[in-house]
Amino acid sequence: MNGTLAHYTKKFLAITAAGLLAMSAQAADPIRIGSFLSVTGPASFLGDPELKTLEMYVEKINEEGGVLGRQLELIHYDDAGNASKARNFASRLIRSDRVDIIVGGSTTGATMAAVPMIEQAQIPFISLAGATVITTPVKKWVFKTPQSDRMAAERILDDMKSRGLTKIGLISGTGGFGSSGREQTLAVAKEMGTIEVVADETYGGSDTDMTAQLTNIRGTDGVQTILNFGFGQGPAIVTRNYAQLGIDLPFYQSHGVASDGFLELAGDSAEGLRLPASPLLVPDSLPDSDLQKPIVEAYKSEYEARWNAKVSTFGAYAYDGLMLAVQAIEKAGTTDKEAVRDALENIQGHVGVTGTYNMSADDHNGLTADSFRILEVQNGSWKLVN
Amino acid sequence: MFSEFLQYLFTGITIGATYALIALGFTLIYNANHVINFAQGEFLMIGGMATVSLTAMGVPMLLAIVLAVVLAGLMGIALQRLAIAPAKDANVVTLIIITIGASIFIRGLAQLVWGKKYHVMPNFSGDEPIEVFGAVLNSQSLWVLGVGAVLVAVLVYFFTRTMTGKAILATSMNKDAARLVGIRTQMVLMLAFMVSALLGSIAGIVVAPITFTSYDIGIILGLKGFVAAAIGGLGSGVGAVVGGLALGVVEAMAAGYLSSDYKDAVAFSMILLVLFFMPRGLFGAKVVERV
């Protein structure tokens, strides 16, 4: 009888001790970083490197002692490129996971589906998607890391202007990326005044031959250069058709195809074309004076060593998003949402892989067109020209 | 001016020849059992993807092509044995739905095995385009046209001169009667699927250098091939060829002279017009329903 009582006492003590331990652990609760990404599905080429990047750097930051002396905890869901799923997961992150900040949203669709809920819940959100609409007009709680397509258009048109090319033949995909890029190009050209879009052709996402459109552009009076705004395999086909037709006008592509995969598809036809891209494609040719150089090089080598896969510009968006979040929390000295948001908005001169971020109350992206580098394809690889 | 027209024509004929080859595959199976095989596009994909991955593994191009065609043929047999045959006497609509299911399955499998990337296949004979009256022609286009013509000739011979070809036709006309005269109709169906798969995979291989290839290339090309077959009149070999070429040329002309935005709209309006005035397509057989 006595023995059993002692046994119970022991058990009771053990439970109390465990409870106390749990309470003390709660004091140094981890900082919860929520994320919804398109890890599978059609946009997995975005979500997959993004998730890998987040996982790897959360681990690294934790090994180095965390943020504000607290560990980071990554809570992520896979929206499979589906906007309504993205909305549901954002809701789950806010309501049941009670995250402190959200870094995610691989596609513009997923991001915009989650935005109303995030604005309502008043939680800082750093999107990894590109479209201008995400941060224009400015939404109080929404930030983003990639450049807008408008900046790409500005950068391309600037480069054309500096080469004395003023009459553009435009060919664009009818998908979201291509049609938005087309609109931005037309708008930027109109604003610049000196540049004129003299031909405006499109092609469908699964078209297999764009010779007819290119023939039309070539036949347009006074055309000096050709710009293709598109995504996926379409631009590679345009590039090949362009070479087959023997067109010798200067040729531009958008940042949508700034990857080694594009070079593989387009092959020799890509020789001499130019496009705006992240410095991540040419870490070695950046001058030593470039502030981004060490960061770009470190990200590339760490990612490739850890995952044994080629680094991608999309993963870099996640890197920049996470680092901006960490910096904001450190600056705020707390995870209080209002304070973190204010700190995010005041980030100045934050050097990331994609560019140097200067946030402000009316710019929640913080990048300028200069963060794009103009690359040219020379002997089958990317070469920095500007 | 003329050179532009010629350029559009070349573009149209090349892509049209592709549509025609796919349409022929549809026609073949339709002739055997009145089923529209929506997995036809997948045969195309298997041909292209298998060739690309085999050459990447170091297999010489020609051997890779042969192996890919054989693989597709086996796939065709498997489709008929494992998916169509077990459904026995299900009606045609059920069988069509089965082929849609099979196509999703094959596509999923391809995605697992080969990933989602687009792949390049080199031109069979050099990248140098051929110039004709100021328009340029991709040398691969000639391959597409040549291979297409040979396949059509072989098919015509097969159906009009060989016993097996006639057996397929007989089965399509009346399954029970065919069985009565000693034709093993299940065997014939299997054969139809196999030949159709061979045809599809060859088409997939010759067009891959132009279109690239990926696990989902079969969806849209398969659909366009079906449109071509419907315009030409389902079941007619000549119809498939004419329908394919017409579709390709109309698309290219629309992109050139009207607006590239309306290219697909023009193509699909064409099928509406044709089917409105000639419900059986351009060369469709007149069918008398016996009551």
Question: Do A235 and A377 belong together in one domain?
Answer: yes
Q: Which of A179, A203, A209, A242 to mutate to test the interface with B (most CBs of B within 10 A)?
A: A209
Q: What is the mean pLDDT of each run of 10 residues along chain A (386 residues)?
A: 57 55 58 93 85 95 93 94 92 94 92 94 93 89 92 93 93 85 92 90 84 89 92 88 90 89 88 92 88 93 91 92 95 93 94 94 92 92 87
Exposed (0-12), middle (13-18) or buried (19+): which is A191, by Cβ within 10 Å? exposed
What count of Cα atoms within 13 Å lies in the side-chain half-sphere of residue A272?
12
DSSP E strand boundaries for A288-372: 350-351, 356-357
Question: Do A212 and A279 belong together in one domain?
Answer: yes
Question: Do A116 and A232 belong together in one domain?
Answer: no
Complex confidence, ipTM: 0.78
Closest alpha carbon to A143 in A101, A185, A183, A109:
A101
- Of B118, B136, B256, which has the smallest distance from its Cβ to A244's Cβ? B136
Question: Do A231 and A159 belong together in one domain?
Answer: yes
In this prediction, residues B233-244 reach a mean pLDDT of 87
Question: Do A118 and A135 belong together in one domain?
Answer: yes
Lowest mean pLDDT among A234-248, B162-176, B192-206: B162-176
Rounded CA-CA distance A329/A61 in Å is 13
Whether the bond into A137 is cis, omega within 30 of 0:
yes
With contacts defined as CB-CB under 8 Å, which chain A residues touch B10?
211
Q: Tell whether the model's pLDDT for residue B196 goes beyond 50.
A: yes
Question: What pLDDT is stored for residue A177 in this prediction?
Answer: 82
Rounded CA-CA distance A321/B152 in Å is 57
User: What is the distance in angstroms between the Cα of B283 and the nearest Cα belonging to chain A?
Assistant: 27
Closest alpha carbon to B85 in B194, B181, B177:
B194
Rounded CA-CA distance B161/A163 in Å is 66
Asked if B14 lies within 8 A of A212 by C-beta distance, the reply is: no
Rounded CA-CA distance B283/B268 in Å is 18
What is the CATH architecture of B2-277? Answer: Orthogonal Bundle (1.10)
Decide if A106 touches B, using CB distance below 8 A.
no
Q: Is position A337 within any domain?
A: yes
User: What is the distance in angstroms between the Cα of A268 and the nearest Cα belonging to chain B?
Assistant: 9
Q: What sign has the CA pseudo-torsion B58, B62, B65, B67?
A: negative
Question: What pLDDT is stored for residue B189 in this prediction?
Answer: 87
- CB of A307 within 8 A of CB of A56? yes
Rounded CA-CA distance A251/B124 in Å is 27
Q: Is position A10 within any domain?
A: no
Question: Do A139 and A200 belong together in one domain?
Answer: no
Q: Tell whether the model's pLDDT for residue B120 goes beyond 80.
A: yes
- Which residues does B84 contact at the CB level (< 8 Å), separation at least 6? B35, B95, B98, B99, B189, B193
Question: Do A100 and A215 belong together in one domain?
Answer: no
Q: Which of B118, B137, B247, B266 to mutate to test the interface with A (most CBs of A within 10 A)?
A: B118
The structure tokens listed for A308 are 């044994």
Asked if B212 lies within 8 A of A246 by C-beta distance, the reply is: no
What confidence tens digit (pLDDT) does each residue in A62-107 have? 999 999 999 999 999 999 888 899 999 999 999 999 999 999 999 8
Rounded CA-CA distance B89/A93 in Å is 52
Question: Do A235 and A378 belong together in one domain?
Answer: yes
Question: Do A305 and A326 belong together in one domain?
Answer: yes
CATH of residue A376's domain is 3.40.50.2300
Exposed (0-12), middle (13-18) or buried (19+): which is A90, by Cβ within 10 Å? buried
Q: Is position A118 within any domain?
A: yes
Asked if B219 lies within 8 A of A206 by C-beta distance, the reply is: yes
Tally of structural domains, chain A: 2
- Of A208, A212, A245, which has the smallest distance from its Cβ to B210's Cβ? A208
**Considering chain B, what is the average pLDDT of its residues?**
87
Question: What pLDDT is stored for residue B188 in this prediction?
Answer: 87
Question: What pLDDT is stored for residue B35 in this prediction?
Answer: 86
Which residues span the domain enclosing A131? 31-147+293-368
In this prediction, residues B220-246 reach a mean pLDDT of 88
More confident residue, A374 or B278: A374
With contacts defined as CB-CB under 8 Å, which chain A residues touch B8?
212, 215
Question: Do A159 and A278 belong together in one domain?
Answer: yes
Q: Is position A17 within any domain?
A: no
Distances (CA, A) of A181 to A108, A151, B4: 14, 10, 28
At residue B287 the predicted structure's pLDDT band, cuts being 50, 70 and 90, is low
Q: Which of B260, B262, B264, B266 to mutate to test the interface with A (most CBs of A within 10 A)?
A: B260
In this prediction, residues B245-256 reach a mean pLDDT of 90
Q: Where are the domains of chain B?
A: 2-277
Question: What pLDDT is stored for residue B122 in this prediction?
Answer: 86
Question: Do A307 and A261 belong together in one domain?
Answer: no
Question: What pLDDT is stored for residue B176 in this prediction?
Answer: 86
What count of Cα atoms within 13 Å lies in the side-chain half-sphere of residue A281?
26
